[in-house]
A = this chain, B = another copy of it.
Amino acid sequence: MHRTHTCGELRSQHIGETVTLSGWVQTVRDKGGLIWIDVRDRFGITQLLIENDADTAEKARELGREYVIKATGTVVERTAKNPNIPTGEIEVKLSDLTILNASKVPPFKIEDETDGGEDLRMKYRYLDIRRNPVREKLELRAKVAREIRNYLSDEQFVEVETPVLIKSTPEGARDFLVPSRMNPGQFYALPQSPQTFKQLLMVAGMDRYFQIVKCFRDEDLRADRQPEFTQIDCEMAFVERDDILAMFEGLIKHLFKTVKGVDLTEFPHLDYADAMKYYGSDKPDTRFEMKFVELNDVAQNKGFKVFDSAEVVLAINAAGCADYTRKQLDQLTDWVKRPQIGAKGLVYVKCNADGSFKSSVDKFYSQEDLKAWADKAGAKAGDLLLVLSGDLDHTRKAMCELRLEMGERLGLRDRNTFSTLWVVNFPLLEKDEETGHYHAMHHPFTSALPEDSEKLVSAPQEARANAYDMVINGVEVGGGSIRIHDKTEQSQMFDALGFTPEEAKAQFGFLLDAFEYGAPPHGGIAFGFDRLCALFGGVDSIRDFIAFPKNTSGRDVMIDAPSPAGDEQLKELAIQLKK
């Protein structure tokens, strides 16, 4: 071993011991007779001292940033202690110094606040990871994974590895394909999720399955998506919905407790319909209230055409914002009119301290009218009502964004506060407005709520799914459903989706076959592990929770992949580039 201790280990109790440390040179300060070197490894930084030792001093003068050294000496008490680092009580007075490896000058500083831009950091990711903020995120990820495994294993879940080389499905437009050399002209696909395999494991009697597993999706990448991502994939047999919610609420509580020291309270259940009604989103940020209030009955038919012709008039109450200036209100109006939000305008009502109201629509509404709005919205003197109108879907969407923006401005979205909930009772089917066909909102094996099972035949569009999402601070961290295990219900589902029995067989043959041999009632959930880690880390981007991420073009700029293949390789795989 090239060390006796790590660079984060020595304390005043070690004073007098002879030690050897190895690590990277952070800084060298040369004061002539005295030279100090800060040496760094994953575990910390220790100060080395060279005093009255010309040979060692000479070697030290060769050192540059990020040189790798091995240093032997005696632990001594520091004259000037540094209370900011755990090793700040001591320094090591060197008797020997060896350069294990030189380093070119790194392209950016290996410090918490670096001067390296995103592109440079990604190209030299192996240097970026030396920085504390990145390394700590990878360590956090490992810790979260370990605690997930502890909890689920203790609950008798078995971690089973499912295949990575699987079958492409006809609807798998976003599948990565892998040509098979041994089966020319044929292709594997990489899994978008292990969904079918986990259901097969339930048919196989594994009872409780989980896996922390890479999944793949070949899609145009939004800013914070990756072509390969990691899921916590889980499934249980012989359960009903609330068994699953309790189990995985328990998992997340365990993680918050063990990883962050935070005790979460019970997760409320929120109907999908209510989530949309009060927050305009199926993943509401519930760290703050500011629920939508519908003003149709008090705001319509008073002569203001914009409202009169609207499907819905929605308000939120920004508490304490009555003192917003004209400029601030104009700026907010511009904000909601941006194409990303798409509102046509913004109506406001200031609830003045003296009990009067000042609004942007004073010529249409009396003080009594505005008081009725304020009463309905629970607004008090000093508050500001913000009102949007239009068709239901767009208005909800725009108001959702406005609510989040106001929450942000009012400091109501603290990253160290965690508000959790289950959104339940999603619609089972979505109608494709263009084709008029129904799609499964989750997937075609999601069951209807028991009380809605008749509707699958009589009124499919009204049937609610026995599906659930876990939402924390406005982020959908996981979702799942109770699956269909009954043949009749499965046929009804395929009917509703417009599949002929032959089409269903072609797409889902082996799973349907398996279901003929005694499928138990079962259900499950999958969590986005990268996203969950980011939530724990208190940041928005998943990028730094992945050791070697890809950019928005799906490229790894460090290793320069993907890249052209050799003719010989393609020939072996029985494929060629499209001419």
Contact = CB atoms under 8 A, between A and B. Distances in A.
Contacts of A125: 200, 204
Contacts of A155: none
Contact of A578 (B100, B149, B187, B571): B571
A563 B186 contact: yes
State the oligomeric state as a number of copies: 2
B573 A576 contact: no
A66 B574 CA distance: 44
A168 B572 CA distance: 14
Contacts of A544: none
Which secondary structure dominates where chain A touches chain B?
loop
Interface centre among A161, A168, A228, A563 (most CB of B within 10 A): A161
Interface residues of A, number: 124
Contacts of A203: 126
A562 B167 contact: yes
A183 B2 CA distance: 44
Contacts of A62: none
A520 B216 contact: no
Interface in A413-454: none
B139 A158 contact: yes
Interface centre among A178, A201, A221 (most CB of B within 10 A): A178
B3 A238 contact: yes
Contacts of A238: 1-3, 22, 41
A556 interface: yes
A203 to B, nearest CB: 5
A180 B562 contact: yes
A80 interface: no
A68 interface: yes
A565 B205 contact: no
27 contacts: A68-B520, A100-B520, A101-B485, A101-B521, A102-B518, A124-B517, A126-B204, A126-B514, A126-B517, A129-B201, A129-B204, A141-B161, A142-B158, A161-B214, A163-B550, A164-B190, A167-B556, A167-B560, A176-B178, A177-B179, A180-B218, A187-B564, A188-B561, A189-B561, A214-B214, A574-B577, A575-B575
